[in-house]
Structure 1
């Protein structure tokens, strides 16, 4: 896979991961609708795994790869690391 495509996929997956986490936490803090958690929980989990895979495909090494493993914001940190290097 082209590095630029992998970087774009990493950006999208990082945004989905963060957004799904924010909605899950907002749901938990307010109305706690079980249907929201049952839909967004697996979505967040899949986005988290996709971020890790996309970071590896984008060529992240060392710290950049390690940052991808941080739940919630790891994808954004990995993208930032890739942009700087």
Structure 2
């Protein structure tokens, strides 16, 4: 669960950084650094969700890019 929490936060924060960069200064270096970080956090969220005992709805929510990890955590907390 700890891995899922950390990766969900990293996924959401990296998406926010990418969007802020896109709509403001659009520095290529930021996109080159944060883009792969976001992709890796997304994959870790999916893997971590499938490794914990979770309802199928949480697993489907984890597949949503950007906020899926946070939604899956919320579903797991309510479970």
Is the structural similarity TM-score above 0.5? yes
- TM-score normalised by L of structure 1: 0.90
Structure 1 stretches of 5 or more lacking a match? 1-6
What is the SS of the residue equivalent to 1:28?
Answer: helix
Q: Partner residue of 1:22?
A: 16
Q: Deviations over 1:21-57 (max 9, x none)?
A: 0000000000000000000000000000000000011
Question: 1:68 aligned to 62, 65, 74, which one?
Answer: 62
Distance of 2:46 and 2:55 partners within structure 1: 12
Q: Say yes or no: does 1:79 pair with 2:69.
A: no
Structure 2 stretches of 5 or more lacking a match? none
Q: How many residues align?
A: 79
Q: What is the correspondence of 1:22-61 to structure 2 with a 5 Å cutoff?
A: 22-61=16-55
Tell me which stretches of 4 or more aligned residues in structure 1 moved more than 3 Å: none
- TM-score normalised by L of structure 2: 0.96
